[in-house]
Amino acid sequence: MGADPVPEAQKFTGFSGQALSLAGDKGRYVLPSAFRNLVKESSDGRVLCIDKHPKLDCLVGFGLSRHDELEAQLDREEDMAWKRGLDFDRDTRAAQLFGYMRVPFDDSGRFVMPSHLVRLGKIEDQLYFHGLGRFFTIWNPAELARMNDDWASAKGACADLVAEHEAKAARK
């Protein structure tokens, strides 16, 4: 007997790289192919999880496979608070970790961004995607440009992608 095949969600290797996407018709956005394929891998399908980044003026995206990781994080944080004699409101923290939206996307990666996330992420007509391993960030390029030099590489990649898009648009 051979070994059981590894389920697709367990083959997920993490998000890396950068991409730019433009708002499409009917208020839809497009999840770039490199990120789309990894979300499919980590979700066993076409479900993108999106939430507001807890500290930055951007959004975070990931696949459903991160759910168990978030549950383990919640347990660790509660345990650490207990060991330190600190208060821990499990319900509030769970609301913060599990408040993400499950957003379906089609085979081309088109999805509708929930309006409250558009506002929270200060999203306009361009989305810059930046891989961070377990998740990726989704930026309005103007918001990313305001970040300090710790974000110099991401800012440079984003500026180049925006410039490439603008050059292509000018040639049309």
Confidence of residue 11 (pLDDT cuts 50, 70, 90): low
Q: What is the identity of the amino acid at 136?
A: F
85-101 pLDDT, tens digit each = 999 999 999 898 888 99
| Alpha-carbon gap, residue 163 to 26, rounded angstroms | 25
- Residue 130: φ, ψ to 5°: -135, 120
**Would the pLDDT of 14 be above 60?**
yes
- pLDDT the model gives residue 12: 63
Q: What is the mean pLDDT of the chain?
A: 89
3-state secondary structure 59-71: EEEECCCHHHHHH
Residue 28: in which H helix or E strand, if any? strand 28-30
User: Of 84, 110, 81, which Cα lies nearest the Cα of 93?
Assistant: 81
140-171 pLDDT, tens digit each = 999 999 999 999 999 999 999 999 988 888 88
* Residue 114 CA: distances (Å) to CA of 3, 18, 50: 42, 22, 9
